[in-house]
Amino acid sequence: MSITKLNQILETVKANPKKRLIVAYANDEHTIEAVYKAIEAGIVDATLVGDKKIIKEVCKLHNFDSSKFHIVQEADEQKAGFLAVSLIKQGEGDILMKGLLSTDKYMRAILNKETGLMPTSKAILSHVTVIETPAYHKLLLCSDVAIIPAPDLTQKIAMTNYLIQTAKALQIDKPKIAVIAATEQMLPGMQACVDAAIISKMAERGQIKGAYVDGPLSLDTALDKESASIKKLTGIVAGDADGLLFPNIESGNIFYKSNTKLANGELGAMVMGAKVPCILTSRGDSAKSKMYSIALAALSAK
């Protein structure tokens, strides 16, 4: 039976062996709180790379037992990112997580050709977000809201496969993936429509496996059965999508932030394509969202 709520991810991973989490520049309250709760829940053991003095002050302020963390001292933001990645490469961790350092510095550490976490030079990193919102009847996966600004067709194919892999981890046997454009009509002059049609046809012919894939679909026809019916769309994905592949980072990012800031949504998120799941949430995301992201990465980690 598929996982339909974020807290069900927590319950699922509690039954699995604990994963080892390495946090890059773990100097902020939300990150430390989320990791502490994940430790208390029995999901992970954790190493915090950052300024030990700040970390201990945060723990004291919130009555967290700092002895539950392994703390590695590194007060410099960029160096903390590289050190966290180094610990992963040394076999000290199964999951990487971003703390207070900026996304560009976090990605720089992951992407470094000599010391980073890329399996091959042609590997594609992409961000997958799992959203729980009161406005939808099940979990909703989307990509990419944080990494690839304007994905080309090759990147969109990889992103589609990451959505499918994440859905499978959520025990969705054959997920429904909607390739989003501004319209559900096939307009040759709109690149999002062209790419969507190609990806949809690739899935139909078995070049993309394990999912129902349809596109182009507008957002309303992907998520709302009535809209799909009015526009005479009869495919299995229309009105009931599990995953949304967005045409660019602006549309994806606005969608996810609208859900969290206006619709009381919560989320879990991670970067896929590296040697291990890499948790990448916004510095403004809640501790709860970061906790769900840890659980999602633990569910996906080998």
244: Cβ–Cβ under 8 A, 6 or more apart, which residues?
140, 141, 142, 143, 177, 178, 180, 219, 222, 252, 255
Reported as a single tens digit per residue, the pLDDT across 26-50 is 998 989 999 999 999 999 999 999 9
Rg of the chain over Cα atoms, rounded to whole angstroms, equals 19
Q: How far apart are CA 264 and CA 132, in angstroms?
A: 9
Range of lowest pLDDT (58-62, 97-101, 134-138, 282-286): 282-286
Q: What is the pLDDT of residue 30?
A: 87
Report the phi/psi class of residue 91: left, alpha or beta, with left for phi > 0 and alpha for psi in -120 to 50.
Answer: left
CATH 3.40.718.10 location in the chain: 1-123, 124-273
Q: What is the pLDDT of residue 282?
A: 73
How is domain 124-273 classified at the CATH fold level?
A: Isopropylmalate Dehydrogenase (3.40.718)
User: Average of pLDDT values for 244-263?
Assistant: 95
Evaluate whether the domain defined by 1-123 bears CATH number 3.30.43.10. no
CA distances for 235 relative to 170, 228, 246, 252, angstroms: 23, 9, 19, 23
Reported as a single tens digit per residue, the pLDDT across 44-93 is 999 999 999 999 999 999 999 999 999 999 999 999 999 999 999 999 99
What six digits make up the tokens of 260?
């969290």
For residue 144, whether the previous peptide bond is cis, meaning omega lies within 30 degrees of 0, is yes
User: Average of pLDDT values for 245-270?
Assistant: 94
Residue 199: pLDDT over 90:
yes
Q: What is the pLDDT of residue 244?
A: 98
Instruction: Report H helices in the chain.
Output: 6-14, 29-40, 52-61, 77-89, 103-111, 153-169, 191-204, 219-223, 225-230, 249-262, 287-300
Q: What is the pLDDT of residue 286?
A: 78
Contact 143, 155 (CB under 8 A): no
Q: Tokens 């659980």 identify what position?
A: 295
Q: What is the pLDDT of residue 204?
A: 97
Mean pLDDT over each residue of the chain, to the nearest integer:
95
Q: How far apart are CA 192 and CA 175, in angstroms?
A: 21
Q: What is the pLDDT of residue 283?
A: 67
Q: 238 forms bridges with which residues in the sheet?
A: none
